[in-house]
Amino acid sequence: MNPAAHLLTRAFGWPVPAVLTWLAAWALAWALRAAGAPLWAALVLPTALGACAALLPFVATTAWRRVFVAAGFPLSVMALGLTSGSGEPGGHGQGGAGVAWLWLAPLALLLLAYPRRAWRDAPVFPTPRGALAELAQHVKLPAGARVLDAGCGMGDGLIELHRALPQARIEGVEWSALWRAVSAWRCPWASVRRGDMWADDWSAFELVYLFQRPETMPRAMDKAHREMRPGSWLVSLEFEARDAEGRAWKSVARWELGGGRPVWVYRLSQCPQQG
């Protein structure tokens, strides 16, 4: 990729396509009302615009992103109706124009909790209680072994690791400053720092725990294979370890949680992939 294309990709990376879609939907709504279109048209057509845009691969690549894009306009209309006392786009009721823009507050909070740089990774879904209860049956670590939750979010994974491996030295890394603070507060016995899990060096850890997405698993597996010592462990909630060619890693153990969600346990070696 040439430098100009790289800069363009970075400038218009997620969530910029979502914001541009929401702005386009609002521009269409205001234009329709200014032209005298009926209220139903000013609501339905921009909503349809957002829904159609959400299906475009350069706008949204995952189901959750498509939901965010498609729901942005109708949710903001609902918020505007509540704050401005008006039932239509761009209405100026008792709340006034300034109050009407309070619908942006949830977006601001979302960006604070989940910065743009982290949107390529997994959303903040907590590790279920008891998810790692069987871990100690399959993984034997020496006392004080360093265990990392890579992308620890709000700390639920740290809590489950601590329950499963109470003698281990539990650590977490999280890019979001808000979630790092929440994790540190909830898990005072763990060492939680703000940082990029992809820039972290995993070579010092006896076990790394992941709760990622299928799209990011090959990147995580490549990092584990390059950096982690033979004999160390990698644990993945829900998603199987696969390399960039789609080959599955050979697991040491696997168990399922409620709803058919598996936990995979892998041990690093020189040749971790299946044949």
The total number of structural domains in the chain stands at 2
Tell me whether residue 129 is in a domain. Answer: no
Q: Which domain holds residue 169?
A: 135-267
The neighbouring-strand residues paired with 233 are: 207, 267
Regarding whether 262 and 144 lie in a shared domain, the answer is yes
Regarding whether 219 and 165 lie in a shared domain, the answer is yes
8 A C-beta contact, residue 266 and residue 236: yes
Q: Is the pLDDT of residue 231 over 50?
A: yes
Handedness of CA 146, 147, 149, 150 (dihedral sign): positive
Regarding whether 250 and 147 lie in a shared domain, the answer is yes
CATH label of the domain that carries residue 261: 3.40.50.150
Tell me whether residue 162 is in a domain. Answer: yes
Tell me whether residue 239 is in a domain. Answer: yes
Regarding whether 164 and 88 lie in a shared domain, the answer is no
Regarding whether 243 and 139 lie in a shared domain, the answer is yes
Tell me whether residue 164 is in a domain. Answer: yes
pLDDT at 161: 97
Q: Is residue 243 classed as helix, strand or coil in its secondary structure?
A: coil
Regarding whether 76 and 19 lie in a shared domain, the answer is yes
Question: pLDDT digit string (tens) for 45-77?
Answer: 888 988 898 888 878 776 767 887 888 888 777
Q: Is the pLDDT of residue 119 over 80?
A: no
